[in-house]
Structure 1
Amino acid sequence: MSGQRDWAEWDAELLRQLRAVRTVADLAAVLKWYVGVRGRAVRTIAKVAGANGLSRSSISVFLAGRRAIPHALLKPLAAGCGFDTEAAFVALGEAWSRISRDDPAPPPGRTPPVEQPAEVESDRDRHLATLETMAEVAGRMNDESTFGFAQAIYERVLDMRRVLLGDRHPDTLTARHNLGAVLGQLDDLDAACVVLDIAYRTRRDTLGPADPATLASMEALAAARANVGERHTARKLLEESLVYRRENLEAVAGTDDERPALLERYRATAANLVAQVEKLDGPETAAELRRTL
């Protein structure tokens, strides 16, 4: 019984703290405190919330208060942190509303999904599973002779995910990103720029600017812009991406098993930026930049 009383006290304290939240930093502090109460590591949170597009690096950034939490990711993140009562989720939503009150535009993903009958939901799940298989097949088409087939598959996957999941769902955005990438491989560069620009901007608005998926689309867009001669735009995109990759790298502990992959991506982005600078400003400027990264 004492344990039950202890948890009731912790839950009451959580509600009290949530009702006092007024800023992004306030909310991050409450979540980080509750993670400590529940004894959860970032990898544990990611196991619960990862299916909703949350990586461990994004979780670390949100818990540090470096970025506002998008509404679409609020409940998955809180569930990963240990929220398990209706009162806590209600108080969380109210806290988020207070933080975003000064923003006249409704945040992306705020509208709740419409509930569907069980038989419709079952058909939907089967369709989504088929689309996942199709996307996996397209992803294995790495030979130049198969790029056209991959394009057709990705177009179909994108169209159907837009219908079933909506334009802003992470899986829909993955399909859009992959379509843009294969259009670039087919040298349909103008189309690639358009598709990747939509993928990047929507991922930025729904997942946040520092999310690895957002950065992947940003860097793919940079490559497409460079290929159509817009090297200054490509350089600007890569510079911004590198800032976020550095922040993501600094947000994880030195012993975190995600750090090597983050470091590898940081170095790859830095190398791409140096390559663009060399083409724009020459080898000496590029060499000077390389020494600072």
Structure 2
Amino acid sequence: MSQELHRSVLLREAVDALVTDPGGFYIDGTFGRGGHSAAILQRLNESGHLLGVDKDPQAIDYAHERFANEKRFAIWHGSFADMDEAAAERAGQVTGILLDLGVSSPQLDQAERGFSFMQDGPLDMRMDTSRGISAAEWVNTEAEAELARVFKEYGEERFARRMAAAIVRRRAEKPFERTLDLAEVVKAANPAWEKGKHPATRVFQAIRIHVNGELEDLQQALEKSVQLLAPGGRLVVISFHSLEDRMVKRFIRDKERGPQLPRGLPVMDSQIAKTLRSVGKAVKADTVEVDENLRSRSAVMRVAEKLG
């Protein structure tokens, strides 16, 4: 089964940082194919519990199959932005929250999911195929200026305007339906290919982020993690591109500093409401892991602890 081929990135490092109490309650906000969840459960005792969360209906089905007999585990279908709903009875008692922001290998490798510019499939890209608009719907109807904005902001694509114009010209003749069709148009519009990177990489990343509301969901999830975690609880986030990592880094820094008050106010540092402290430095995959799993090369893990 292809699901088994998915390798969880920074597996040992993430679980080591996350699990501080074997009898605690943990949330795996991005269940995927259960690699991190399985490792977390191995660290828990009989009193421990783990809640998995995932947008992808295939991941939910797989969780029911893989952990059918695991009483310490439950799965919830939805975005980690709404994990407070999933853990409503546990607010303030959550021992650790893990967010692995990468797209799972089955999503990338199944052509029919429409994430890949390397395999031909329907242009979909939705992680939750039960709701929202597909990549094809968005690409075929969005204004040229908005296409360019998304490509530039979410893909950090310097030829965003040129690519948006090429897409709009082509869709006037024939709407986009397939991944390779879109990839070829973007490829032709890219005048300066980066060595070792497909010329449509940034545009496909941008469309996926936009269609799935990934950055908005991440911001909500970070804010809610602070509300959910008990004092001493850990937040562990694994990012795979600079946009996500910058968001996580700034969030932890801001919560570590507390509210920024006007200079000169007679307030002691101990009186400022700080909610998180950073734990250690950012962690990256070592050369052994990168050699075994190329997708781990861009991963950055950050850890924070909830203050009392």
TM-score range, shorter chain: 0.3 to 0.5
- TM-score after normalising by structure 1: 0.32
> Relative contact order (alpha carbons < 8 A, sep ≥ 6): 1 or 2 greater?
2
* Larger proportion of helix: 1
- TM-score after normalising by structure 2: 0.31
* Larger proportion of strand: 2
